[in-house]
Amino acid sequence: MKVIKRNASEVEFDITKIITAITKANEAAEEDARMTPLQIRRIAERVVLSCEKLGRSPSVEEIQDMVESQIMAHGAFEVAKSYITYRYTRTLVRQSNTTDDKILSLIECNNEEAKQENSNKNPIINSTQRDYMAGEVSRDITNRILLPRDIVDAHNEGLIHFHDTDYFAQHMHNCDLVNLEDMLNNGTVITGTLIERPHSFSTACNIATQIIAQVASNQYGGQSISLAHLAPFVQVSREKIQRDVIAENEEIGRELDNSQLSAIVEKRLREEIRRGVQTIQYQVVTLLTTNGQAPFVTVFMYLGEAKNEREKQDLALIIEEVLHQRHKGVKNESGVWVTPAFPKLIYVLEEENIHDDSPYFYLTKLAAKCTAKRLVPDYISEKKMKELKEGNCFPVMGCRSALSPWKDENGNYKFYGRFNQGVVTLNLVDIALSSAGNIEKFWKIFDERLELCYRALMCRHERLKGTLSDVAPILWQYGACARLKKGETIDKLLFNGYSTISLGYAGLCECVKYMTGKSHTDPSATPFALDIMKYMNDACNRWKKETTIGFGIYGTPLESTTYKFAKCLQRRFGIIEGVTDKGYITNSYHVHVTEEIDAFEKLRFEAQFQALSTGGAISYVEVPNMQNNLDAVISVMRFIYDNIMYAELNTKSDYCQECGFDGEIEIREKDGKLVWTCPKCGNTDQDKMNVARRTCGYIGTQYWNQGRTQEIKERVLHL
């Protein structure tokens, strides 16, 4: 069994350290109040049993809490008092400076917290270490200077989660929709170099990847681009290729009729589209930005964005090539085709591609084939989104953050170039447990926590106010988000709903379970769950009216925070069956991963909550290998089109480099820890296997903490 130390490094569990600590506390007590060595040994053994029941690596703090409880249970109150006093004294010493230890553990690659924090970051790599080291300094400054003490304490206790404190010291925003159309058509500037309008599709793709890299290095959240902004350059290339073909044949004295000319041009054009798409895929996968990971970019595929029929046909050519290449995958270091994490793909289901006789249904069949093998694309229903977003259909930012409709001074809707200011997440489970099941007390505590979140969100807003456009020219001066002047602040983009700011929420499932004794899927408990969603919406609407800032509620992905919240709840309230008995809590409004429910019922049920999650959310269904049952995949896609705005299908896509096994890598328990294991050869070396799992809206490929790993292991199939 392993233990996670305070500096986040992981060491072997040693019972003698527990015995030594209790013995020292025992010796500090009066002689007549002391315990016997046998009693001390039994306490230590019971602590070991409690740790083993966790099914994960316990932290030092958790072990010390268990020791305290066991000493008290033995009636040795004087010894317990001595032990608590010793802990408190050591805490004061440690608080003088914990940053140095954490940075040193990062450099030495034994910081388990960092290893498991982000499933797409490899903390061994220098660039990632540099980002994490800077993040530790930012956290330290944020916690000591920039944030109010009560907000820091609430974050540490797991009442709320103030996201991305490792970037808060800088004037950086979360995620955005890159205005690629403006940057390509009107030019941009990258590291002081003027980039003019491209003269071919392949050049446009190359410029797009440079923009993606620059944007990723100047913010901490995800970005989204639309293939529709690249589609006009297909015609630019077509015309250029046609001129070249005519000139080549004139040189040799050969005349081509229109059909011959068209055939040659389209063949060469297809090859250019292939190269351009390959540039985007391989550049994104191989780029390492300044935050130590590949750019978190989403590619939006929506035929309805095309401005005319010719452009729509060209956009379809690009989408087809993107899906072909993603289905193929990328080669790992062994030369085997595997599933990449990025770019994330979103395919819009619409009337022109959803039915068997739709003109672009062939793309939908290709999307289904790609999803069954590579987990993407995910799906947005044009019909449902237009119902919820004032007749508009547009991409989400990153994995789910969604803008609210906004009109410019001319009354035109605008989405590209807008962004999210940041997220603070509310732990709904803690509200329920703090109320002890009293409904009046529940709503009172809810109000208090919402007020806390509001003040935390306003800290995010205030941190961005006064930010000069010069801090990130690619974003604020050269078109990704705006074209402000040098020295101008971004303040006007922070108000009147232009940008959004998100109230996240987590654990609706466990919250309702504790308050009602039933799952929120139970018809008698569902109204209470919906009331909670409406209550958060009402708060956001009230804040928006008071400030003109675009507040919205956001179905938080919870990657590593699901584990943090679970541990905090267990520490504060103990183990409560069905509520705090896991190493994770449920993302946003989702049905619990262990609950038996079929795919269609799950999507139908969650759609009502997604509609209320105005700041973004995504639903999923867990499916087995569907590569030989694409009709079933398409059935789910059609159900999404008719019933829910945004959803995805989760399957498995793994490879063992030791033996060549390409089935599902399993999660097994070993020495009290969950370990990824090849079922064929028993390989447990994570550096010698490729595992891709949907973490919480996006694909993770670098493994997860024990809480998230337990959640992945316990997912039931919905189809």
Tell me the per-residue pLDDT of 532-576, one tens digit each, with 9 for 90 and over: 999 999 999 999 999 999 999 999 988 788 889 999 999 899 999
Instruction: Judge whether residue 698 has pLDDT over 90.
Output: no
Could you tell me if 192 and 269 are in contact, meaning their C-beta atoms sit under 8 angstroms apart? Answer: no
Residues 120 and 213 in one domain: no
Residue 659, in any domain of the structure: no
Examine the residue annotation and report whether 420 is marked as an active-site residue of this protein: yes
Residues 286 and 180 in one domain: yes
Band of pLDDT at residue 1, cut at 50, 70 and 90: confident
Residues 83 and 130 in one domain: no
Residue 679, in any domain of the structure: no
Q: Given this model, what pLDDT does residue 653 score?
A: 80
> pLDDT averaged over the chain?
90
Which residue among 559, 622, 648, 711 is the active-site one? 559
Domain edge (last residue) among 96, 111, 130: 96
For residue 376, the Cα-to-chain-centroid distance in whole angstroms is 15
688 by Cβ neighbours in 10 Å (0-12 / 13-18 / 19+) ranks as middle
Instruction: Judge whether residue 117 has pLDDT over 70.
Output: no
Residue 694, in any domain of the structure: no
Tell me the average pLDDT across 136-163: 91
pLDDT tens digits, residue range 459-508?
A: 999 999 999 999 999 999 999 999 999 999 999 999 999 999 999 999 99
Q: Given this model, what pLDDT does residue 119 score?
A: 47
Which residue among 301, 399, 533, 637 is the active-site one? 399
Residues 303 and 262 in one domain: yes
Residue 690, in any domain of the structure: no
pLDDT tens digits, residue range 76-99?
A: 888 888 888 777 666 655 554 555
Q: pLDDT over 70 for what percent of the chain? A: 92
Which residue among 420, 588, 653, 690 is the active-site one? 420
Residue 9, in any domain of the structure: yes
Which residue among 329, 504, 697, 707 is the active-site one? 697
Which residue among 51, 205, 370, 397 is the active-site one? 397
608 by Cβ neighbours in 10 Å (0-12 / 13-18 / 19+) ranks as middle
Examine the residue annotation and report whether 401 is marked as an active-site residue of this protein: yes
Examine the residue annotation and report whether 554 is marked as an active-site residue of this protein: yes
Q: Which residue has the higher pLDDT, 117 or 573?
A: 573
DSSP H or E run through 417? none
Domain edge (last residue) among 388, 408, 430: 388
Residues 236 and 346 in one domain: yes
Domain edge (last residue) among 554, 586, 618: 586
Residues 507 and 381 in one domain: no
How far apart (Å, rounded) are the C-alpha atoms in residues 476 and 486? 9
Radius of gyration of the chain (CA): 27
Tell me the average pLDDT across 399-408: 93
61 by Cβ neighbours in 10 Å (0-12 / 13-18 / 19+) ranks as middle
Residues 6+ away with beta carbon under 8 Å from 609 = 508, 529, 530, 533, 588, 589, 617
Which residue among 554, 584, 641, 646 is the active-site one? 554
Tell me the average pLDDT across 339-352: 93
Residue 677, in any domain of the structure: no
How far apart (Å, rounded) are the C-alpha atoms in residues 301 and 316? 9
Band of pLDDT at residue 144, cut at 50, 70 and 90: confident
Q: What is the DSSP string of 74-140?
A: TT-HHHHHHHHHHHHHHHHHHTT--HHHHHHHHHTT-BHHHHHH-TT--TTSHHHHHHHHHHHHHHH
Tell me the average pLDDT across 251-277: 95
How far apart (Å, rounded) are the C-alpha atoms in residues 514 and 209? 48
Band of pLDDT at residue 425, cut at 50, 70 and 90: very high
Residue 400, in any domain of the structure: no
Examine the residue annotation and report whether 175 is marked as an active-site residue of this protein: yes
Tell me the average pLDDT across 141-156: 93
Residues 206 and 292 in one domain: yes
Q: Given this model, what pLDDT does residue 706 score?
A: 82
Band of pLDDT at residue 72, cut at 50, 70 and 90: confident
Residue carrying structure tokens 């029929």: 309
Band of pLDDT at residue 676, cut at 50, 70 and 90: very high
Least confident residue range of 40-49, 209-218, 228-237, 332-341 = 332-341
Residue 675, classed as helix, strand or coil, is strand
Residue 667, classed as helix, strand or coil, is strand
Examine the residue annotation and report whether 172 is marked as an active-site residue of this protein: no
Residue 467, in any domain of the structure: yes
Examine the residue annotation and report whether 399 is marked as an active-site residue of this protein: yes
Residues 20 and 169 in one domain: no
Examine the residue annotation and report whether 540 is marked as an active-site residue of this protein: no
Tell me the average pLDDT across 681-694: 90
Residues 214 and 320 in one domain: yes
Residues 6+ away with beta carbon under 8 Å from 600 = 636, 639
Could you tell me if 81 and 71 are in contact, meaning their C-beta atoms sit under 8 angstroms apart? Answer: no
Q: 36: domain range? A: 1-96
Determine the length of the chain: 719
Residues 345 and 203 in one domain: yes
Residues 88 and 130 in one domain: no
Query: What six digits make up the tokens of 521?
Result: 């899927």
CATH code of the domain containing 243: 3.20.70.20
Residues 197 and 346 in one domain: yes
Could you tell me if 298 and 399 are in contact, meaning their C-beta atoms sit under 8 angstroms apart? Answer: yes
How far apart (Å, rounded) are the C-alpha atoms in residues 397 and 390? 18
User: Looking at the 3D structure of the chain, how many domains does it have?
Assistant: 4
Which residue among 66, 172, 175, 393 is the active-site one? 175
Bridge partners, residue 673, by sequence: 670
